[in-house]
Amino acid sequence: MAFVSFSLFTLLVLFSLLLNPTSAFNPKLLNVSKLQSSTSWSPAGATWYGSSTGAGSDGGACGYGTAVDQAPFSSMVSAGGPSLFNSGKGCGACYRVKCTANQACSGNPVTVVITDECAGCVAESVHFDLSGTAFGAMAISGQEDQLRNAGVLQIQYRRVQCNYPGVSIAFHVDSGSNPYYFASLIEYEDGDGDVSAVDLKQELDSSTWHSMQQSWGAIWKLNSGSPLQAPFSIRLTSAVSGHTIVANNVIPAGWQPGQTYRSVINFKS
């Protein structure tokens, strides 16, 4: 009887597919599955460095400089082990982290941004070397020092969209830039937070985009070999979603090394 029941069920399913063949493949179901997997929590190791209420280091391997302890980063930052830092390509990515393995853990998640590298953090496949501020933020209120005294924790993490309300993308021109060489630190990208490609277009060229190369961290460069004509438009491609935006004429004529120029746009988070 079990065989007969199974056969009848199979016939009913096949009959349903014949009546509605589009039900055999539903891309929306795949999208939902992908979304669910991206919001699941995974295990990681965590330590902290720098001062107990500081931003870890003054700048770090991503090149953000003193911005790490100022809004919108506000010291809620982390150095990433090799898998997170990803040779600098992970700079700017945002993560939610939480801990439950210590009595001082609140279990409440906090958001951190990758701003530095922890090359020696290889005990686990994923490791966050958090600022003292971020590490303490995972604690029950009033028990921040008790949690920091633990030194090493097993935590949970997940990748999230970056969100900097009211903040547009900033381009800090590298001090070594000149008419033949242009380099810029790129920061405060909403959405993915990190970028996979940066392209530059000159004032006198309405169609040609020149690919910039990652110099180090979040700094991208273009060695032109001939004088560059400002203003420059800069096109950014986000690393995970592949979304592209263009900051038109964001670097003005008469730009100066060391100056920061802000766009009027940002990725949607």
DSSP string, 152-182: -EEEEEEEE-B--TT---EEEE-TT-BTTEE
Digitized pLDDT (tens) for each residue of the chain, 269 residues in all: 333 333 433 333 333 433 443 333 233 222 322 333 356 999 999 999 999 999 998 778 999 999 999 999 999 999 999 999 999 999 999 999 999 989 999 999 999 999 999 999 998 999 999 999 999 999 999 999 999 999 899 999 999 999 999 999 999 999 999 999 999 999 999 999 999 999 999 987 778 999 999 999 999 999 988 999 999 999 999 999 999 999 999 999 999 999 999 999 999 75
Q: b/e string for 144-173 if b means 16 or more Cβ within 10 A?
A: beebbebeebebbbbebbbebeeeebbbbb
Burial class (CB in 10 A: 0-12, 13-18, 19+), 100: middle
Domains of the chain: 42-160 (2.40.40.10), 170-262 (2.60.40.760)
Give Cα 197 distance to the centre of its chain. 14
Give me the pLDDT at residue 205, please.
75
Return the closest-CA partner of residue 208 out of 235, 169, 242.
Answer: 235
pTM (2 d.p.): 0.83
- How many residues appear in the chain? 269
